[in-house]
Structure 1
Amino acid sequence: MGDTHVDDRGLAQDGTIRREGSLSRVPAAFAPVVEAARSRITEAFGAAQLHSAYLYGSIPRGTAIPGVSDLDLLLALHAEPTEADQAAARAVEAALDATFDQIEGVGILLFGAGTLLSELERNDLGFFLACLCIPLLGDDLARRLPRYRPTSLLARETNGDLCLSLPRWRSRAAEALTDAERRSLSRGVARRVVRSGFTLVMPRWGGWTSDLEESAEIFGRYHPERIEQMRVAAATGRTPSTDPALLTMLIDDLAPWLAAEYIAVHGSKAPRP
């Protein structure tokens, strides 16, 4: 994936989406975290299990804030993940989170390499790995994936299932008893809503960004009637809230409107097993 900028829209010279971030952009405060992640992943998953590992999110983009940002990792295994693999990943998460004050949580995604390269996931997980993940260990699967453009197909397959999240979010909101639970829910819902709002208009804008504030502003160019709500969502994605009214706005107003608009514009994401 080339690094030559055409303009500020996240595209390479040929108009394809440029891969975000690099290990060279990792802020100095997070360098020990990344090295520890590399070491612990290698210890927990041997060569017979691990195909490759990737870093994504604010840390490789160079925008991470010590004490606020989390560590996001994706592991591609030779075979589909087992319960033992999931347990090993949770142990790595806990160990890293307990060791480093710079990070506020660790998330490890596990997938089989075959799933990441599958036709069904070509424009979802495949795009995610090829454009939003930075190689940390092993042979980069992005070499076996296509170059991506900001198309309606990409929009549909990345966020065309937003409607399926609504019942789960409402259930979690009703069951949330602690501030920690509300913060976690508000952060996750807000980030998904902002990213879906951006990909809704991505083909019209003709570029890519993962920056929450920029995503909200780009969305607002095409839907000014919802811009203030989307700005609140972007702020919540960075600084989670415990306010029940904010969760109600996101889950019962903005997200349902966005889910319906998404299907009307791009259609529904291909069903998964």
Structure 2
Amino acid sequence: MLNEDGTLAREGALDRVPEAFAPVVDAARVRIGNTFGPARLDSAYLYGSVPRGTARVGVSDLDLLIALRDEPTDADRAAVAAMEADLDRAFPQIDGVGTLLFAASTLLSELERHDLGFFVACLCTPLLGEDLAPRLPRYRPTSLLAREINGDLALILPRWRRRAAEATTDAERGRLGRWVGRHLVRTGFTLVMPRWGDWTSDLEDMAGIFGRYHPERAGQMRMAAAVGRRAVDATPAVLSLLIDDLGPWLAAEYRSVHGEKAPRP
């Protein structure tokens, strides 16, 4: 959705959280505050299907981003992992908790301006603390934004291949497949986003919009979306299709159209 000036509007809001997930969000707010306290916590956010209002009971996970006043430590990451496990055990309506943990300075840095900065300003819903979004630009669906969001797919593919080769159970393949499917769909969408001229975070919509511009790969992208939603099992054959066929084509096309993401340390 676009603002009147053509910039990308922020998706999600606390008043869109489905009723079944409200206790989870309340508990997460309390746990984050207790874990870090005002001296260290800069701000915290929700993102994903819960603040968009599309979460499904027993299927969706809870996605959080925490910004600290200083660099996260190993102890911070351990505390977050314990918090995630506690929330997951306490609330059967969610299927796991995922938390991104950064220093606020990283989120506001020039290097992350069109990646994590965009993520905070447009895809995250404020939960605690002072929102960082007013300190970030107003974003438009440009090739620069596309490049910095997903211009590193070629670097990720070898890791996926290793994980696929090491996976020995359906559960391991399922977790990998969900991540691979979602990432490929989002990369396919951002490949064509500047031409489409807007933003969506719905996997089905992303796959459909991609298919308008690349009908020859539309079926594979629909498969990626289905695997990402767990509607199709991530069998070895399906993972190979996504990682060894769709992935390399998409990485090469992305590099040709938008270039490569700025290197990170």
For residues 47-94 of structure 1, what are the alpha-carbon distances to aligned partners after superposition, in whole Å with 9 as ceiling and x for unaligned? 111100000000000000000000000000000110011011101100
The answer to whether residue 205 in structure 2 is matched with residue 243 in structure 1 is no
Counterpart of 1:200?
191
Counting matched residue pairs gives 264
Match of 2:248 in 1: 256
Seq. identity, % = 72
Question: Contact 1:71/1:106 (CA < 8 Å) preserved in 2?
Answer: yes
Quick one: distance in 2 between partners of 1:91 and 1:108? 11
Q: How far apart are the structure 2 equivalents of 1:267 and 1:17?
A: 22
Aligned to 1:137, which of 128, 135, 148? 128
* 1:46 shift after superposition: 1.1
Deviation at 1:180, TM superposition (A): 1.1
Cα RMSD of the aligned pairs, angstroms, is: 0.6
2:92 — aligned with what? Answer: 101
- Read off the aligned partner of 1:254 and give its amino acid letter: L
> How far did residue 243 of structure 1 move?
1.1
- Deviation, 1:150, is 0.1
The aligned counterpart of 2:151 is 160
In 1, Cα distance between equivalents of 2:234 and 2:193? 30
CA distance in 2, matches of 1:204, 1:242: 31
Contact 1:55 1:133 (C-alpha < 8 Å) held by counterparts: yes
Matched residue, 1:7: none
CA distance in 1, matches of 2:237, 2:42: 44
Where 1:107 maps in the other structure, the secondary structure is: strand
* Equivalent residue number for residue 161 of structure 2: 170
Report the residue type matching 2:27 in the other structure: A
Specify every segment of 5 or more residues in structure 2 that has no aligned partner in the other structure, as ranges.
none
What displacement does 1:242 show?
Answer: 3.3
User: What is the Cα deviation at residue 241 of structure 1?
Assistant: 2.1
Amino acid at match of 2:166: E
The CA deviation at 1:96 is 0.2
Counterparts of 1:26-105 in structure 2, within 5 Å, are 26-105=17-96
Aligned to 1:266: 258
Give the whole-Å Cα distance in 2 for the aligned partners of 1:254 and 1:140.
Answer: 37
CA distance in 1, matches of 2:256, 2:31: 45
Q: Does 26-35 or 232-241 show the bigger shift?
A: 232-241
> After superposition, what is the alpha-carbon deviation per residue over 1:201-260, rounded to whole angstroms, capped at 9, x for unaligned?
000000000100000010011100000010111111111623111100000000110000
Amino acid at match of 2:8: I
Task: Compute the TM-score of the two structures, normalised by the length of structure 2.
Answer: 0.99
The structure 1 residue matched to 2:112, chosen from 115, 121, 130, is: 121
Give the conservation status (yes or no) of the 8 Å contact 2:157–2:247: yes
How do residues 203-242 of structure 1 correspond to structure 2 at under 5 angstroms? 203-239=194-230, 241-242=233-234
2:98 partner SS: strand
Residue identity opposite 2:109 in structure 1 = S
**One-letter amino acid of the counterpart of residue 128, structure 1:** F
List 4+ stretches of structure 1 deviating above 3 A. none
Partners of 1:126 and 1:255 in 2: CA distance = 26
User: In 1, are the aligned partners of 2:115 and 2:148 still within 8 Å (CA)?
Assistant: yes
Q: Is the 8 A contact 2:227 2:234 kept in 1?
A: no
Q: Classify the secondary structure of the residue corresponding to 1:72.
A: strand
> Any idea what SS the aligned residue of 1:48 has?
helix
State yes or no: 1:150 paired with 2:113: no
